[in-house]
Amino acid sequence: MEDALFMEIANEIKVLNSQAVKLVSQGRLTEAEAICKKGLELTGNLAYYEGMAVFFFNLANLEALRDDLIKAMTYGALCAEMHDKAQADAEDCDALMRSLAKAAMKKGVEREKKGELKTALEYYYVSLPFLELKYRQATLKEIELIERLTNGG
């Protein structure tokens, strides 16, 4: 790819990312989501995995603000996948996933206390791969108990 063209595209990606971050900070989540999806389309067409990771990271944070932890974790996992494909450092993404996993586990506990066992399981399952060992073990025990309860035995 020609250097000037690459620089123009890279500049557009930076502008889109800056716009998305600014809109999120202003609470304009729907507009930020549209910008992120535009950025994903652009970076996806170029197979620019690091750029895709940035926009998936932004979408994960955006969905966390909307309190949709399952969707946030889905975007976070895609962020991690793009970092892997780019063979790039994923420290920020990993930290986000650990934080989201702990929040999803807590949300599962809340749902379980309300008797919403199916929803609790959804939160537990999505958090499981990203939890620290002690939380993972406790969550596995909760999953086992709920499954015994819901399967009659």
User: Residue 87, SS3?
Assistant: coil
Q: How far is CA 14 from the centre of its chain?
A: 20
Q: Judge if 6 and 58 occupy the same domain.
A: yes
Please list, residue by residue across 98-112, b when 16 or more beta carbons sit within 10 angstroms of its beta carbon and e when fewer do: bebbebbbebbbebb
Q: Judge if 115 and 80 occupy the same domain.
A: no
For residue 95, being part of any structural domain is answered with no
Counting other chains too, the contacts that 133-139 makes at CB distance below 8 Å and 24 or more residues apart are 135/101, 135/102, 135/105, 139/105, 139/108
For residue 147, being part of any structural domain is answered with yes
Reported as half-sphere exposure (CB side, CA atoms, 13 A), residue 133 has a value of 0
pTM: 0.87
Q: Residue 4 has what pLDDT?
A: 81
Q: Residue 153 has what pLDDT?
A: 57
- Whether residue 119 has pLDDT greater than 70: yes
